């Protein structure tokens, strides 16, 4: 390995000689077997072992205050080096707008007499109904304050005044940092990180702003790739057909974003290739659909050079409308068009250090092999089966019963069925009667619609694939909440139950029908039917003050109220955990409020989807302990009770639990878990509370390499504790979490 590093250093003497005379600070560097940093004149070279016996190197330097990637190269064991790029400039662009509070949330705060400056500031950062780059906006009713204006939007390209660099080791990864980065309203550092045992190289701007109300998106990549006779960038389009750009056309004035399958483009460079892609999930903010907007780009800058990178486009899109009748088509078109209002960007509260990464995969193989290798990190954008578990996801407003009535038949396959089956989903629970059909009808309209809903779900269910016709309800409990029944159950939820209408009655053609008219009726209903309920999108949207306003109510304290839904909203790139405060912070508070711990059920909360959408990055799902998927005509209790009892974990897909338990007791308690993962891990944490105070123990896992299994054994003191939970996070921001359990 020492000889290997010396050869690398000698190979870069010429490039280093052109750099300015700044020596990198190596005090934080510690050599790692298989990953070494070698100081050069004005820079540093990283050399590391990747997967499949490949060897990688990346050389960095400073030229007139500009950090430069002097070389990226790869080779197979014992083979010749393949240069993937030389003299490349790290490129970033940022677009910023003004974060506004949603009018929906403002209205709730006013109605509940909670409209204080502190609450407005707090809920502003949890906003969903915001599109800071949409001027003036399609519907001002969703805005607080004056209409948006063009002068609120700023666009900037990175500039550097770097005069120092440092090299630091953290476990089995090494980071090179250059100071002096300025990116519009942001200022900070440029970082490159290499990972032992992986062909990955991460480039990121790490920067903060002092400006108020900033929402932003970014582009990140490398500029200066040479156009040669065989220069080519390839990607698979949304129908998985290979496409390419050969740079034989005109110069581009701006980046050309391509709707690449799996968010990946690959540069072919002789016998080698370079993959370019964003973080699988953390790169994305919540929308109401998963339409692929194009998240990787190329740009031909001149006759001799081009650039590559990742980006978030400035505009969102609605799903493709559907409908046979004009009435339905027009309604669905309005819903789809309205979704451009839900393009909230990332949060950048003043002083927070935002991370804006792009990932590269260096390889001495061809582009198709690199494509395959990168996709292993997300199991080819699917949820890998785990023995003893079945995959469950839901909260999708797909208007199934409206589709049936519009078409006049239940014998068809909606475009979303192959999406879920292709992802590896076993159970999907839907959310009709939200902005469709007649949710508040007393029965004459609603019951036939429910019957169509049940019949269509029955026909779409199959072996190992169950469609559960459930509902997001907006009555009685304040805010929005979800109900999951263990079988098809007819029920109504009018504003109040009319005089003489019983709670339960037998209706010809429908059997038992429940009529709900109050929170007490809801609690009685879920107890009698063994259903479960939870708050939908807590502390945002129309649940802005839920479940806070009813934390002392009987229905919330009931064990049939399982907790809240988890969705990565808001997106704040300064936080190490997805939905760090709104989701996990609330989970801890709910578990303190209630007699038993509450849970966070991963959900989608999106609308129509098609196979050409990019659904995977927007989802986290649940793995529920079940031996088999219930058939339609069987009880769905294994799904419902598995969630009710907390026998499930949430995950973005890259980290999977196989089993877990707490050993010992009191001061000698140990939380154990067996996991598998793809990206190198970052940390695990055990979180606990005595019912009032929440504390945690964080265990660094930066000594892990990609694609492994690990048994976690984390000691903690359970003395006087009420509950405890465990989460694990990887280097790309992906995560998995177990539900809180009561401490015995």
Domains of the chain by residue range: 1-79+158-198, 89-154+226-378, 392-650, 654-744
Containing H/E element for 373? Answer: helix 367-375
Dist CA 539 CA 113 (whole Å): 16
In the predicted structure, residue 719 carries a pLDDT above the cut 70: yes
Q: Are strands 481-484 and 532-535 parallel, antiparallel or unpaired?
A: antiparallel
Task: Quickly state the pLDDT bin for 138 (edges 50, 70, 90).
Answer: low
- The answer to whether the beta carbons of residues 428 and 393 sit under 8 Å apart is yes
User: What pLDDT was estimated at residue 21?
Assistant: 60
Which residues, other chains included, contact 640 with Cβ-Cβ below 8 Å and sequence gap of 6+?
484, 485, 486, 530, 531, 532
User: What pLDDT was estimated at residue 23?
Assistant: 84
Per cent of the chain over pLDDT 90 is 90
User: What pLDDT was estimated at residue 10?
Assistant: 35
Sign of CA dihedral 712, 737, 281, 92: negative
Q: Enter the DSSP assignment of 150.
A: G
pLDDT per position as a tens digit, 346-383: 999 999 999 999 999 999 999 999 999 999 999 999 99
The residue among 504 and 10 whose pLDDT is bigger is: 504
Give the mean pLDDT of 395-408: 96
What kind of architecture, by CATH, is found in domain 392-650?
Alpha-Beta Barrel (3.20)
User: What pLDDT was estimated at residue 196?
Assistant: 98
User: What pLDDT was estimated at residue 13?
Assistant: 37
Q: Are strands 159-160 and 694-700 parallel, antiparallel or unpaired?
A: unpaired
Choose the weakest-confidence range: 96-105, 348-357, 693-702: 96-105
User: What pLDDT was estimated at residue 141?
Assistant: 57
- The answer to whether the beta carbons of residues 181 and 354 sit under 8 Å apart is no
Half-sphere exposure of 331 (CA within 13 A, CB side): 13
pLDDT per position as a tens digit, 641-658: 999 999 999 999 999 999
Which residue, 681, 539, 576, is CA-closest to 282?
A: 576
Task: Quickly state the pLDDT bin for 743 (edges 50, 70, 90).
Answer: very high
Round the average pLDDT of the chain to a whole number and report it.
94
Half-sphere exposure of 163 (CA within 13 A, CB side): 1
Which residues, other chains included, contact 700 with Cβ-Cβ below 8 Å and sequence gap of 6+?
170, 171, 682, 683
Task: Quickly state the pLDDT bin for 516 (edges 50, 70, 90).
Answer: very high
User: What pLDDT was estimated at residue 270?
Assistant: 86
Backbone angles phi, psi at 498, to 5 degrees: -65, 150
- Give residue 360's Cα distance to chain centre: 19
The length of the chain in residues reads 744
Dist CA 527 CA 532 (whole Å): 8
User: What does 698-715 look like in DSSP terms, one character per residue?
Assistant: EEE-TT--SSEEEEEEEE
The residue among 140 and 448 whose pLDDT is bigger is: 448
Query: Is the peptide bond prior to 570 cis by the omega test (within 30 degrees of 0)?
Result: yes
Give the right CATH number for 654-744 from 3.90.110.10, 2.60.40.1200, 3.20.20.70, 2.40.180.10.
2.60.40.1200
- The answer to whether the beta carbons of residues 727 and 584 sit under 8 Å apart is yes
User: What pLDDT was estimated at residue 140?
Assistant: 52
Which residues are registered as beta bridge partners of 47?
36, 57
pLDDT per position as a tens digit, 469-499: 999 999 999 999 999 999 999 999 998 888 8
In the predicted structure, residue 162 carries a pLDDT above the cut 60: yes
Half-sphere exposure of 20 (CA within 13 A, CB side): 13
pLDDT per position as a tens digit, 557-575: 999 999 999 999 999 999 9
User: Which tokens belong to 185?
Assistant: 């309203």
Dist CA 629 CA 421 (whole Å): 13
Task: Quickly state the pLDDT bin for 145 (edges 50, 70, 90).
Answer: confident
Dist CA 376 CA 374 (whole Å): 5
Give the mean pLDDT of 620-631: 98
pLDDT per position as a tens digit, 580-596: 999 999 999 999 999 99
In the predicted structure, residue 6 carries a pLDDT above the cut 70: no
Task: Quickly state the pLDDT bin for 105 (edges 50, 70, 90).
Answer: confident
User: What pLDDT was estimated at residue 205?
Assistant: 98
* pTM, two decimal places: 0.96
pLDDT per position as a tens digit, 171-196: 999 999 999 999 999 999 999 999 99
């Amino acid at each position: 390995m020492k000889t290997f590093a010396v050869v690398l250093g000698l190979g870069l003497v010429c490039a280093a000689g052109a750099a300015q005379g700044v020596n990198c600070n190596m005090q934080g560097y510690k050599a790692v077997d298989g990953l070494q940093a070698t100081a050069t004149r004005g820079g540093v070279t990283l050399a590391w072992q990747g997967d499949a016996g490949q060897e990688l190197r990346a050389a960095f330097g400073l030229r007139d205050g500009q950090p430069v990637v002097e070389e990226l190269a790869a080779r197979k064991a014992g083979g010749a080096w393949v240069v993937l790029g030389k003299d490349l400039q790290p490129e970033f662009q940022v677009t910023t707008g003004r974060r506004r509070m949603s009018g929906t949330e403002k209205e709730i705060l006013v109605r509940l007499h909670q409209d204080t400056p502190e609450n407005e500031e707090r809920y502003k950062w949890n906003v969903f109904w915001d599109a800071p780059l949409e001027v003036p906006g399609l519907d001002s009713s969703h805005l607080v304050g004056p209409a948006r204006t063009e002068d609120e939007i700023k666009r900037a390209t990175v500039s550097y005044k770097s005069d120092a660099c440092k090299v630091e080791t953290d476990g089995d990864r090494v980071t090179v940092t250059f100071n002096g980065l300025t990116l519009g309203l942001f200022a900070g550092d440029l970082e490159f990180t290499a990972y032992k045992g992986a062909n990955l190289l991460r480039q990121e701007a790490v920067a903060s702003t002092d400006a108020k109300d900033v929402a932003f998106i970014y582009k990140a990549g490398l500029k200066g790739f040479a156009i040669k006779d065989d220069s080519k960038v390839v990607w698979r389009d949304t129908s998985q057909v290979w496409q390419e750009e050969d740079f034989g056309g005109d110069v581009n004035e701006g980046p050309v974003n391509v709707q690449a399958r799996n968010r990946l483009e690959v540069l072919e460079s002789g016998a080698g290739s370079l993959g370019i892609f964003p973080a699988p999930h953390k790169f994305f903010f919540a929308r109401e659909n998963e339409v692929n907007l194009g998240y990787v780009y190329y740009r031909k800058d001149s006759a001799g050079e081009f650039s590559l990178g990742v980006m978030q486009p400035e505009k969102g899109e609605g799903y493709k409308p559907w409908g046979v009748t004009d009435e339905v088509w027009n309604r669905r078109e309005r819903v789809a068009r309205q979704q451009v209002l839900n393009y909230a960007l990332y949060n950048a509260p003043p002083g927070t250090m935002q991370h804006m990464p792009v990932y590269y995969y260096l390889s001495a193989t061809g582009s198709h092999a690199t494509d395959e290798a990168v996709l292993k990190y997300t199991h080819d954008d699917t949820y890998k089966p785990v023995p003893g578990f079945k995959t469950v996801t839901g909260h999708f407003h797909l208007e199934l019963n409206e589709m049936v009535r519009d078409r006049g038949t239940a014998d068809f396959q909606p475009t979303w069925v192959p999406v879920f089956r292709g992802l590896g989903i076993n159970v999907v629970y839907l959310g009709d009667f939200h902005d469709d059909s007649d949710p508040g009808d007393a029965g004459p309209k609603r019951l036939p619609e429910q019957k169509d809903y049940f019949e269509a779900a029955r026909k779409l269910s199959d072996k190992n694939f169950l469609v559960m016709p459930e509902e997001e309800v907006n009555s009685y409990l304040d805010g929005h909440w979800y109900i999951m029944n263990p079988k098809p159950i007819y029920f109504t939820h009018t504003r109040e139950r009319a005089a003489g209408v019983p709670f339960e009655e037998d209706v010809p053609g429908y059997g038992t029908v429940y009529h709900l008219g109050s929170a007490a009726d809801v609690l009685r209903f879920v107890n009698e039917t063994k259903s479960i309920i939870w708050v939908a999108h807590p502390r945002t949207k129309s649940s802005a003050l839920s479940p806070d306003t009813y934390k002392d109510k009987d229905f919330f304290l009931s064990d049939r109220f399982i907790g809240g839904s988890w969705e990565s909203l808001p997106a704040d790139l300064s936080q190490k955990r997805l939905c760090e405060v709104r989701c996990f912070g609330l989970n801890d508070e709910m578990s303190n409020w209630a007699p038993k711990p509450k849970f966070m059920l991963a959900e989608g909360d999106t609308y129509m989807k098609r196979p050409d959408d990019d659904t995977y990055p927007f989802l986290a799902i649940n793995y529920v302990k079940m031996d088999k998927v219930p058939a339609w005509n069987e009880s769905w209790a294994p799904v419902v009770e598995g969630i009710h009892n907390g026998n499930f974990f949430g995950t973005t897909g890259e980290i999977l639990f196989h089993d877990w338990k707490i050993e010992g007791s009191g001061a000698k308690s140990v939380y154990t878990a067996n996991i598998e993962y793809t990206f190198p891990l970052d940390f695990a944490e055990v979180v606990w509370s005595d019912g009032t105070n929440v504390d945690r123990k964080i265990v660094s896992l930066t000594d892990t390499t990609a694609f492994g299994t690990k048994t976690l054994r984390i000691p903690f003191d359970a003395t006087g504790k009420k509950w405890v939970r465990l989460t694990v996070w990887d280097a790309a921001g992906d995560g998995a979490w177990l539900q809180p359990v009561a401490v015995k």
